[in-house]
Amino acid sequence: MTTTRLGMLALSLLLLDACAAFDDATAASAVTLPTASGDDMQPGEGLAVGDSLTSSDGAYTLAFESDGNLVLYRNADKWPLWDLGSDTATGVLFLQADGDLVLYAPGAEWSTGTGGHPGARLIVQNDGNVVLYGPGDVPLWDTGTDQTDLPSGPTATGADMIAGETLRPGEFVQSKDRRFRLLYRSDGDLVLYRRADRAVLWSSGTFDPGGVLILQGDGNLVIYSPLAIWASHTIHPGARLIVQNDGNVVLYAPDDTPLWDTGTAEP
């Protein structure tokens, strides 16, 4: 982990009670903070809009974007694995001395709630996870986007999935007539929608970003992130998934017996 700091940036931050306990009612004072750089953020460092941290292998970037959102990207395809959902374009992200990572704008908008761990540091790891570690390398908080423990396989294409194929965030299969699309979204939800009006017909209800959908060899359709968070519970080797032209998504056994479906067939 590099300890070199690439210069200083004047971050106008309303610090309450000298970077320890913060209270909007307390008188504030402006300070100048060093900008975090490389793959980590040390206590007392921050990120302003336009700043970023990148894993040491260059594969992942945590960016504080111009619209005020904090986003973790997989750089190979610029796909967002995680985002904070913030929209404070004048804010700063600051790692306090007490170990709490806080977004100020200028009042506290969000935090990891990890105060009480002086010396904590934030790292954008090569496995795609962003982790806040306390002393002794004890993980205090993370984005839950570790990519190394996820199942792998070829990407499903066309209208179906067969055993071993996967969908990662942003990938989809769709009906042959292209009217219906089963999309694995960046927020971790698996969604079937009608393309004409973008109406959602079915979803898995799994909001856990950075995962993968796989049709296992045993016939079970599973979302991992990295643990299994949803499944079709269809143990039947040789099963295949089809997005049909009638709007229904069906998992069929080798003899065409339906094992599971979204129940979304349209007349």
Which domains occur in the chain, in start order? 8-142 (2.90.10.10), 160-260 (2.90.10.10)
pLDDT bucket at 105, cuts 50 / 70 / 90: confident
CA angle (79, 84, 86) in 5-degree steps = 115
Phi, psi at 191, each rounded to 5° = -125, 135
pLDDT above 90 (res 96): yes
Residue 19 reports pLDDT greater than 60 = no
Tens of pLDDT along 25-37?
A: 232 334 457 999 9
Q: How far is CA 81 from CA 61, 113, 155, 207, 244, in A?
A: 10, 22, 17, 12, 29
Q: Which pLDDT tens digit goes with each residue over 175-190?
A: 999 999 999 998 899 9
pLDDT-derived band at 6 (thresholds 50, 70, 90) equals: very low
Mean pLDDT of 85-96: 86
C-alpha to C-alpha distances, 262 to 182, 234, 238, 251, nearest whole angstrom: 11, 13, 19, 9
Q: Which two tokens stand for residue 117?
A: 């761990």
Query: Residue 27 in 3-state DSSP?
Result: coil
- pLDDT, position 32: 55
3-class SS at 258?
strand
The total number of residues shown for the chain amounts to 267
Q: What is the pLDDT of residue 155?
A: 96
Spatial distance between the Cα atoms of 32 and 167, rounded to a whole number of angstroms = 45
Among positive and negative, which fits the CA dihedral 90, 93, 97, 99?
positive
The pLDDT tens digits of the residues spanning 202-218 come to 999 998 877 899 999 99
Q: Does the pLDDT value for residue 16 go beyond 50?
A: no
Q: Report yes or no on whether pTM surpasses 0.85.
A: no
